[in-house]
Structure 1
Amino acid sequence: MKAEYVQVQIELPEHQKEVAIALLASIGFEAFEETEQGLIACIGRESFEEERLNNMLEVVNCTSFRTQLLPPQNWNATWEAQYPSVFVDDFCQVIPTFRQPRPGFEHCLIIDPKMSFGTGHHETTRLMIRMMRQLDFSRCRVLDMGCGTGILAILAAKLGAEAVTGIDIDPWSYENARENVQLNGSGPIDIRQGDARSIPPGEYDLILANINRNVLLADMPVYAQHLKAGGKLLISGFYQTDVPSLLQSAQALGLRHAHALKEADWAALLFEKTRN
């Protein structure tokens, strides 16, 4: 028998979406879609409790939502049919295991997302991929902080990196990244669970970090310590309005601003370390 689901449409601002998703997941919601107005979330009918939903949404100052009972259907088949591949110029295509690659792209990444960030659908992931296209990864030691699905670590390996370390604090992302590394036959990639304190000893030629502004500002001194002189730091995960504070922090650490890209309201920045 196919399960019935309750779909909840929630109106809330952009900066509250991440918190709302975490809260909803903690009370049994299983699937999420970000919209311009807020979120769409789904939960099994037998697990839905409107009072618990109200209590959770009060935390993010949101009490406006609509519910809809969805008819039973094969949700895996529906999700697969609606899940799009991602094409970044003619450089890179990102596909799940149930899609076939298209010809005409330099690189193909097989990414099964599960609950991790980094499928190429978000602007910041695409910005990182476009910036990576312009860099020379050959014989480089690379660190990918907040690696999510492992998408950037895998691409770095395909671009010729000598060794890649990916780190994410989330246990789901840690497991998902390891699975995606195997799917792509990529190596050598070392996936670890943790934060900036988990960075292995030594220096890196390239550090990638697609994380939010606050984490970047807090951890940038650690990244600078682990970056070789002349090494590069590529970051995204923030709005264009956040760029001035990130530039100021980087300059104080001896990181020279080398390049920038933007898509919609999002931005990516490239820095080069000018001193030890």
Structure 2
Amino acid sequence: MIYIEYSFSISPKQPATDILIAELGEKGFESFIKSEIGLLAYILKSEWEEDILNDVFILKNPDFQISWSHKEIPQQNWNAEWEKNFHQIKVGDRCMVRAPFHRAENLQYDIIIEPKMSFGTGHHETTHMMLQQILDSNLEGKSVLDMGCGTGVLAILADMKGAKSVDAIDVDEWCFLNSKENVERNNRNHIKVYQGDSSLLVGKKYDVIIANINRNVLLEDISIYSDCLNPDGALFLSGFYLKDLDAISSKCSIHNLQFEKKLEKNNWVSVKYVN
């Protein structure tokens, strides 16, 4: 597969960088790396159009100076790019997310991720907060769904936390294959990875549902998540900004899901709802 790489120079960087990531995500861009000058963003060439940025609002905002260029990136160059730009991260003092080429540390949860073109390394605020939510939750013996699994990092941590079964689902083939690789790499035995969307959830039931997806998909699928939750179940949502929280909570309330806990980082939020 061939990807198109966009290199953005952004000043000031925040909140423009995060807004740009959100807008590009809705355009089909799959992966992002925050750089010294701004942002690198990647989209499959087959999904790309010359005018793809024409209606990206943040690029027209006079409060920010944003310039960009783009080029083709052959797939075989991608792993080298990750090795140059991907740094291990820690979530509190209990969890590390690292690539195979990083040295392990003596932490309770050591997750090895080969991210390739998938979203979910822990670097983005939403993934980091969802990892924190999982760390703070008792998943022992519970059935878990990781919807929009990306690299599978959240599913892997849920399994490490003692979940009896984990379904990891992503609509993107690359994410599906990458999640399967990462599950095997971390020797997790209770995770099943599927390619598809929320239509796969018909007739399924879970104790815990994790969904780190964009706002519009969440609003569309909250009713499905509610139907899939067992009594006393928990729904963890992220992938949206603080300004979208009222709309998300309102939709959850309609389906008898009550707000319990919120984490916030750089205007991104991660929220726990219970039924």
TM-score with structure 2 setting the length: 0.80
Displacement after TM superposition at 1:100 (Å): 1.3
AA matched with 1:88 = V
1:209 and 1:234 in contact (8 A); partners too? yes
AA matched with 2:86 = Y
Q: Equivalents in 1 of 2:42, 2:212: separation in Å?
A: 27
Aligned length: 250
**Unmatched 5+ stretches in structure 1:** 26-30
Displacement after TM superposition at 1:38 (Å): 5.9
Q: Equivalents in 1 of 2:41, 2:95: separation in Å?
A: 30
AA matched with 2:236 = L
Displacement after TM superposition at 1:36 (Å): 9.4
Find the counterpart in structure 2 of residue 226 from structure 1: 228
Displacement after TM superposition at 1:54 (Å): 5.4
Find the counterpart in structure 2 of residue 16 from structure 1: 23
Task: Find out whether 1:148 has 2:155 as its counterpart.
Answer: no
CA distance 1:68–1:150, change in 2 (3 Å): closer
Displacement after TM superposition at 1:187 (Å): 1.6
Find the counterpart in structure 1 of residue 122 from structure 2: 120
1:58 paired residue among 54, 61, 76? 54
Displacement after TM superposition at 1:7 (Å): 7.3
2:92 paired residue among 55, 74, 89? 89
CA distance 1:84–1:251, change in 2 (3 Å): same
Displacement after TM superposition at 1:150 (Å): 0.4
Q: Equivalents in 1 of 2:23, 2:165: separation in Å?
A: 36
Find the counterpart in structure 1 of residue 198 from structure 2: 196
Task: Find out whether 1:102 has 2:101 as its counterpart.
Answer: no
1:17 and 1:39 in contact (8 A); partners too? no
CA distance 1:79–1:221, change in 2 (3 Å): closer
CA RMSD of aligned residues (A): 3.1
CA distance 1:56–1:245, change in 2 (3 Å): closer
2:236 and 2:272 in contact (8 A); partners too? yes
**Unmatched 5+ stretches in structure 2:** 11-15, 61-65, 72-76
Greater alpha carbon shift after TM alignment, 60-69 vs 138-147: 60-69
Q: Equivalents in 2 of 1:269, 1:247: separation in Å?
A: 9
CA distance 1:252–1:84, change in 2 (3 Å): same
Find the counterpart in structure 2 of residue 28 from structure 1: none
2:82 and 2:116 in contact (8 A); partners too? no
Identity of counterpart residues, as a percentage?
A: 36
Q: Equivalents in 2 of 1:96, 1:156: separation in Å?
A: 19
Which is greater in Rg? 1
AA matched with 2:178 = N
